[in-house]
Structure 1
């Protein structure tokens, strides 16, 4: 199968993926809100499952959650418990496909609607087929929790459509082996190898051709169309200026905007981002001002909005700060 790699934009993922992590923190009694805030997130932001998050923050928050919970194999466990609906159209496409081969192929394509800058493919060159998964950006590291969550999720999905007794042949991970291997034996029930070129689930050739009882042609077509629409509607802009503008507009009301954080989300250093924007005759500060002006102009046309509400909507502390800003805009 052709490799699917979504590039040309900053690494992103849908807010729905944080659902299992938030539940795990809440169930343990951990301070979930403080952890989310540390990574520029909030329950309000995550309440929209389609909200776009920087992939870097999601991966780092997942790693921190495992540390906070003292559960090194958190990703393994959450993947084995995941409901397919939390994967959006990709999960439902998998469930409704006629064979496992079609399910994995269509899932891989639809996954681009849920996260990008991720390389997935089904390799059939050797005797044993293998489904691989890897975040394409090497700068996003460590990423153990995401890798283990993704492979555990894939095995969980296959067991949902093939039966709980199904096992892969082997499982491979790119990271080093941890001290405790018992969770891997419990989840995968097969040999697990570490420090491999990529993360992967190795299958038997006959696994891919097996028919699935959950097949639903109409549902599969609907979810494929939904995934295609999401990819088209939320396609990330390609120029640095457009990417910065897009990040700012998405985050304006939710978090304090810091240049270093924006640069990190784009996979750039602070200095590189400033240099690229200067070459285009602009800056983060100028783009932020322009987007605030545009947002305030639109909000002022709505009935019933107080100045305090407008201020909050564009990231200002209160109406006084908004008033001072609008005065400076007129100079």
Structure 2
């Protein structure tokens, strides 16, 4: 299975934000082997891992732990390629969020991207699904900040957020986050998200003509159809990753989503050198390893977060998978690790 990718055009905005500070982005681009020409290529793709690393390295270069928030605030009509234009040309804010979440996969793979409109409240959520990609805080804060910025541009600044949630621990002063979003901000949550009152969703756009929206949607619909191709293992992995960690899909539902019987799905996966249980278990274990290294949650809390009803079975499964128990892994043990978990690191964040 190939590694997940992201449109090079999305990196272009981040690189431009670096240069707005008076620093050159050339060294950072060289580090991930990306040329300026690629940033201007509408079809250019780069590994998602390289994009995440660029963001974290840029924050370190600028000595700005909140670089992602600030880059998000500067998001405009060209910051997310055609997705920005799609959002800003929608007839209403409700349509803007719905269409954006429907087509993000055309620009970025391995991302959870959801919009819920229920009970008088609306929530946009985002997250990187590949649990082996651990350098992701700047991207999470950028993505939530950028969507808030686009929504404010769309409505002429009329919307207000009720709350913001982030998966990671807090870094720096809480007031930075509170002032940026103008609402309560919570950390170490199940997803990266913001919530606002549903009444804002009927607001009409003030930036681009809504006549552009069906044209852009048709273009992205064709791209989305092309993106559905791929191995069955890759497609199963994407369906597993899209579900909550503590409520993974069952094999029957997954086979149904793919238009296959359960025996046929098992045969297809075996032909590709893997299996249903292997894919599910690897996803849960890599997620657990990330939480162990990047958070201060207890082992019992992590066991529940990745779908185990009690700690003992989680500890046994983790030890079989990584060759060492969870507490030793968290403390930097030297036991055998799977390739997918190699290189995990701790960001040294504070809890909120």
Within the alignment, does 1:90 sit opposite 2:59 as a pair?
no
Q: What is the CA-CA distance between 1:199 and the residue it aligns to? A: 0.5
Query: Which residue of the partner structure matches residue 162 of structure 2?
Result: 169
CA gap of 1:124–1:235, structure 2 versus 1, over 3 A, is closer
Q: What is the CA-CA distance between 1:216 and the residue it aligns to? A: 3.7
Within the alignment, does 1:52 sit opposite 2:45 as a pair?
yes
Match among 220, 225, 228 for residue 227 of structure 1: 220
Match among 93, 102, 107 for residue 109 of structure 1: 102
Within the alignment, does 1:74 sit opposite 2:67 as a pair?
yes
Query: Which residue of the partner structure matches residue 261 of structure 1?
Result: none
CA gap of 1:214–1:31, structure 2 versus 1, over 3 A, is closer
CA gap of 1:81–1:27, structure 2 versus 1, over 3 A, is closer
How many equivalent residue pairs? 239
Query: Which residue of the partner structure matches residue 5 of structure 1?
Result: none
What SS does the corresponding residue of 1:116 show, helix, strand or coil? coil
For 1:59 and 1:24, the matched residues in 2 are separated by: 15
Misfit runs of 4+, over 6 Å: none
Match among 162, 173, 179 for residue 180 of structure 1: 173
Match among 131, 136, 144 for residue 124 of structure 2: 131
Match among 32, 45, 53 for residue 39 of structure 1: 32
Q: What is the CA-CA distance between 1:53 and the residue it aligns to? A: 0.7
Q: What is the CA-CA distance between 1:84 and the residue it aligns to? A: 1.9
For the pair shown, the structure with the greater C-alpha radius of gyration is 1
What SS does the corresponding residue of 2:194 show, helix, strand or coil? strand
Contact conserved, 2:156 with 2:206, CA < 8 A, in 1? no
For 1:15 and 1:236, the matched residues in 2 are separated by: 21
Contact conserved, 1:99 with 1:211, CA < 8 A, in 2? yes
What SS does the corresponding residue of 2:15 show, helix, strand or coil? helix
TM-score (norm. length: structure 2): 0.62
Contact conserved, 2:154 with 2:204, CA < 8 A, in 1? no
Q: What is the CA-CA distance between 1:213 and the residue it aligns to? A: 4.2
Q: What is the CA-CA distance between 1:201 and the residue it aligns to? A: 1.0
Within the alignment, does 1:27 sit opposite 2:20 as a pair?
yes
Q: What is the CA-CA distance between 1:167 and the residue it aligns to? A: 1.7
Query: Which residue of the partner structure matches residue 151 of structure 1?
Result: 144
For 2:27 and 2:160, the matched residues in 1 are separated by: 38
For 1:78 and 1:123, the matched residues in 2 are separated by: 25
RMSD of equivalent CA atoms: 2.7
Stretch of structure 1 that moved more, 218-227 or 8-17: 8-17
Bigger relative contact order, structure 1 or 2, given CA contacts below 8 A and separation 6+? 1
Alignment of 1:144-293 (within 5 A): 144-214=137-207, 216-233=209-226, 237-238=230-231
Within the alignment, does 1:63 sit opposite 2:86 as a pair?
no
What are the ranges of 5 or more consecutive residues in structure 2 without an aligned counterpart?
235-269, 274-352
